[in-house]
Amino acid sequence: MKKLITIIGPTAIGKTALSIKLANHFNCEIISCDSRQFFKEMEIGTAVPSKHELASASHHFIQNKSIFENYTVGDFEREAISKLDELFETNDYAILVGGSGLYVDAILKGFDTFPEIDASVRTEIISNYEKFGIEYLQNKLRELDPNYFDTISNENPQTLQNPQRLMRFVEVCIGSGKPYSSFLNQKKTSRNFTPIIIGLEAERQEMYNRINLRVDLMMQNGLLEEARNLYSNRNLNALQTVGYRELFSYFDGDYNLDFAIEEIKKNTRRFAKRQLTWFKRTENAKWFDYKSEVDEIVKSISNFQNS
């Protein structure tokens, strides 16, 4: 059976560095499932691996799409599974790495299926959204699927600011007559690989210190100019992302620059907490301190294979 070594954990914890070390050890290639590193226009603010890191191991799904493309988690699942099938033809190992929990789950478990919804439902939802704004979508989801609304509020609140995602949730609720959440986690997808899941973590203050340092380095490396170049497209879904939103508010005159930087750090720390909450629910994950030696992790992978 083929092995998919899957590296999970919060942002700035060292997943990229570990993935490269393991790729070199097992002589295999890396699938990235960071949902913002897909976009070629976003580099500094998404912590895309450096040119040296990209040259150290073969990577896939790094800066392969444009922010102007509509690229969904379902699209990623199809493309990534196809790529894994290709990689497993010549290798017993591949590596999956990234901090986007939904995208990790899509590869390991499969994407949920939903009923076909009459197009008139979406048309009416769009009309109401244009009349009443995003609050209409938020209130409708709260009414039709209160449990899922609460889950999003606690674990991924930025989704509540994403009209495309909210329209889809409401569309399914109205069109099917059932809560959106009732269709989640229903399908058991068979995969032709066994996942070996490695989690990286750190003491909370250490994790926060690493995040703060990363933001400072991003600013030194040109994040302000990168955000300025993207400002005219700030309403695109891909740019509803920590690190860009706060600088857009600076360009709008709502924040001064120092406050915007502190907001990036604060919102990234909050994001990291939500990532950990999501990933800690992952079954059969083996967690390591981020300073662990790679030999210790390799040994754990070997023990898994022999168990």
Q: Are 77 and 142 part of one and the same domain?
A: no
Q: What are phi and psi of 137, to 5 degrees?
A: -65, -45
| pLDDT at site 307 | 62
Two tokens, residue 271: 């994001």
Give the end of a domain, one of 161, 183, 205: 183
Q: Which residues have a Cβ under 8 Å from the Cβ of 71 and sit 6 or more positions away?
A: 38, 65
| pLDDT at site 232 | 97
| pLDDT at site 206 | 97
- The answer on whether 12 is annotated among ligand-binding residues is yes
CATH number at residue 94: 3.40.50.300
- The answer on whether 49 is annotated among ligand-binding residues is no
Residue type at 63 in one-letter notation: Q
Spatial distance between the Cα atoms of 136 and 124, rounded to a whole number of angstroms: 12
Q: Are 166 and 127 part of one and the same domain?
A: yes
- The answer on whether 15 is annotated among ligand-binding residues is yes
Q: Are 64 and 207 part of one and the same domain?
A: yes
Q: Are 168 and 195 part of one and the same domain?
A: no
- The answer on whether 17 is annotated among ligand-binding residues is no
Q: Are 268 and 299 part of one and the same domain?
A: yes
- The answer on whether 90 is annotated among ligand-binding residues is no
| pLDDT at site 61 | 98
Spatial distance between the Cα atoms of 7 and 287, rounded to a whole number of angstroms: 10
Q: Are 154 and 294 part of one and the same domain?
A: no
Q: Are 289 and 164 part of one and the same domain?
A: no
Q: Are 107 and 134 part of one and the same domain?
A: no
Spatial distance between the Cα atoms of 73 and 187, rounded to a whole number of angstroms: 16
| pLDDT at site 127 | 94
| pLDDT at site 190 | 83
State pTM to two decimals.
0.81
Two tokens, residue 52: 């040296």
Residues of the chain falling short of pLDDT 50: none
- The answer on whether 175 is annotated among ligand-binding residues is no
Give residue 199's domain range: 2-111+187-306
- The answer on whether 198 is annotated among ligand-binding residues is no
Instruction: List b or e across 215-226, with b for residues whose CB sees 16 or more CB atoms inside 10 angstroms.
Output: beebbeeebbeb
- The answer on whether 178 is annotated among ligand-binding residues is no
CATH number at residue 179: 1.10.20
Specify whether the CB–CB gap between 123 and 94 falls below 8 A.
Answer: no
Two tokens, residue 304: 């898994």
| pLDDT at site 237 | 84
| pLDDT at site 156 | 76
